[in-house]
Homo-oligomer: A and B are copies of this chain.
Amino acid sequence: MSKIKVAAFSISLDGFGAGSHQSLKDPLGIRGEELHAWMFDKTTSDGVDNDIVKRSMENIGAWIMGRNMFGPVRGPWPDNEWKGWWGEQPPYHVPVFVLTHHARESVTMKGGTTFHFVTGGIEAALAEAKKVANGKDIRIGGGVSTIHQFLKAGYIDEIQLTFSPIFLGAGENLFSGIDLPALGFNQVEKINGENATHIILRK
């Protein structure tokens, strides 16, 4: 059955999914890049951590992400120049729905990724994503505020968090105001990777 899920979402041990002061220079805020260091260790390319990344990309029919995950531009789009952080061929290869308050034409990238801009909120994005996902899973990309919206609305079926062994101390905290057991997540699975700890929560 098609699931709506969060996968390989990196957080610090104190719960931060991004550091403070996001900017063009620091897309994930101060020290935020350290959250993803576990993904880029070439000495463990056949290991547990890498397997988590691979699994997180399987059977995904569409993505939904917040505007801050798409880029640093705020307010009305000044032009259509900004096309994400990921270059000409983003790693999604499926339709990606970007939540924004400001309308913009869709952008087709190489490799199957199309960015669609949704101004109708999370329900509208979910409806659009379901139409094109072709029965596959829908992945909620982030950041923290997008995940909070989907969690509170009860749409998420499964969450796979990755705890990086760092403390950020400040930024966007995934657990702030979120009671996961009260939201129905009562199964917890733990997988120790080479550089991070992977946790799966299911209802």
A interface list, Cβ under 8 A from B: 13-15, 161, 163, 165-170, 173, 175, 178-183, 185, 188, 190, 192, 197, 199, 201
- C-alpha gap A175/B167 in the complex (Å): 10
B167 touches A201 (CB 8 A): yes
Select one of B13, B169, B178 contacting A182, CB under 8 A. B169
Query: How many monomers of this chain does the complex have?
Result: 2
Q: Are A169 and B165 CB-contacts (below 8 A) given A15-B14, A192-B192, A197-B197? A: no
Contact partners of A190 in chain B: CB under 8 A:
165
Q: Which residues of B contact A169 (CB under 8 A)?
A: 178-183
Q: Is the CB of B175 within 8 A of A15?
A: yes
B170, A13: Cβ atoms closer than 8 Å? no
| Complex contacts, A167 vs chain B, CB 8 Å | 180-181, 185, 188, 201
* Most chain B beta-carbon neighbours within 10 Å: one of A167, A170, A175, A201: A167
Distance between A166 CB and nearest chain B CB, rounded to angstroms:
6
Q: Do A179 and B188 form a contact, CB below 8 Å, given A165-B199, A199-B13, A199-B165? A: no
When distances are taken between beta carbons in the complex, the residues of chain B under 8 Å from A182 are 169-170
Assembled-state Cα–Cα distance A188/B165 (Å): 7
Contact B13–A163 (Cβ < 8 Å): yes
Output the nearest chain B residue to A170 by Cβ-Cβ distance. Answer: B179
Contact of A14 among B170, B180, B197 (CB under 8 A): B180
Taken together as a complex, chains A and B put the C-alpha atoms of A167 and B183 apart, in Å, by: 11
Smallest CB–CB gap between A195 and chain B, Å? 9
